[in-house]
């Protein structure tokens, strides 16, 4: 950051407005009666909290790649390069689980193994989700899925479905997220251009690793440096931020009163 001649950094316009609203008139402010508390909080926070969540998600993706590094070094170069490229790609996949109590339907229509319509959104489904396992058994076709659901219904057993969802990678909006935090933070942070250059370098060298032109270990310092930079931006992330709706186990409501109980899926 460029040094300022003043020992105290000037607050951003949003923070100046907030100070004016919260300070009493005797100190040059407008007084708390000038604005509702929620409006004042909105001026203070803006989209910075959401930006930090996105940056933390990007860092978590790369940390998972770090955890796989020994395995990638032992494996084929093509697989290692692909793994690096996918981690920094525009789309990512996430696995999630839906728990359905005995007697209830899955609340979806499917074509093949893909959800084409959702009849019960309270279960967490989205159109485009793909079924992978039902009660621990892998499903390869719609017929197999129907059989597994029917068997569970016949035994009055609950149903656990593991599915996958294609989501937008946090790297798609990373630069915007970095700028949101940079503009509002008074902490020393890596320059945005330097962070994005590390992202670009990893993306550039990933296919070269896959082709055997560049050894995988040469990418590790850049990867570690990028994770450290992202952690610096995400370090002020508020505790208790909401988890992505696509993750974790989603419990289904009681089947009582469900209009679609007679159907296996929808």
CATH number at residue 122: 2.30.42.10
Query: Containing domain of residue 194, as a range?
Result: 58-90+173-236
Tracing tokens 């892998």 back to the chain, one arrives at 138
Residues 201 and 146 in one domain: no
Asked which of 168, 192, 216 is the last residue of a domain, the reply is 168
Residues 96 and 86 in one domain: no
Asked which of 108, 142, 168 is the last residue of a domain, the reply is 168
Residues 106 and 218 in one domain: no
Residues 155 and 188 in one domain: no
Residues 101 and 162 in one domain: yes
> Which residues touch 165 (CB under 8 Å, ≥6 apart)?
93, 94, 95, 96, 126, 128, 129, 130, 246
State phi, psi for 50 to the nearest 5 degrees: -65, -35
Is position 3 within any domain?
no
Tally of domains in the chain: 2
> Which residues touch 110 (CB under 8 Å, ≥6 apart)?
116, 131, 142, 145, 265
**pLDDT string in tens for the chain (266-residue length):** 443 333 333 334 443 333 343 343 333 443 333 333 333 333 334 489 999 999 999 999 999 999 999 999 999 999 999 999 999 998 877 889 999 988 888 999 999 999 999 999 889 899 999 999 999 999 999 999 999 999 999 999 999 999 999 888 999 999 999 999 999 998 899 999 999 999 999 999 999 999 999 999 999 999 999 999 999 999 864 433 433 444 444 444 434 333 333 355 65
Residues 211 and 146 in one domain: no
Q: How many residues does the chain have?
A: 266
Residues 159 and 186 in one domain: no
């Amino acid at each position: 950051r460029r040094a300022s001649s003043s020992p105290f950094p000037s607050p951003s316009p949003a923070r100046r407005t907030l100070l004016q609203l919260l300070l009493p008139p005797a100190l040059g402010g407008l007084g708390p009666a000038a604005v509702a508390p929620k409006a004042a909080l909105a001026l203070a926070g803006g989209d910075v909290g959401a930006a930090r969540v996105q940056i933390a998600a990007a860092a978590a993706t790369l940390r998972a790649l770090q955890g796989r590094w020994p395995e990638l070094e032992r494996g084929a170069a093509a697989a290692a390069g692909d793994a690096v490229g996918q981690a920094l790609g525009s789309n990512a996949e996430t696995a999630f689980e839906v728990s359905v109590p005995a007697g209830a339907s899955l609340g979806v229509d499917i074509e093949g193994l893909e959800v084409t319509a959702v009849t019960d959104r309270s279960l967490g489904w989205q159109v485009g989700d793909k079924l992978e396992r039902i009660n621990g058994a892998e499903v390869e076709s719609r017929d197999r899925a129907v059989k597994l659901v029917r068997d569970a219904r016949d035994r009055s057993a609950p149903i656990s479905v593991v599915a996958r969802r294609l989501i937008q990678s946090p790297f798609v909006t990373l630069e915007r997220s970095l700028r949101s935090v940079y503009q509002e933070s008074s902490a020393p942070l890596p320059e945005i251009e330097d962070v994005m250059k590390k992202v670009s370098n990893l993306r550039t060298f990933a296919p070269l690793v896959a082709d055997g032109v560049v050894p995988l270990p040469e990418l590790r310092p850049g990867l570690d440096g990028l994770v450290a930079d992202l952690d610096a931006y995400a370090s002020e992330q508020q505790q208790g931020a909401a988890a992505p709706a696509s993750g974790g186990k989603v419990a289904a409501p009681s089947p009582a009163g469900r209009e679609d109980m007679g159907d296996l899926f929808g």
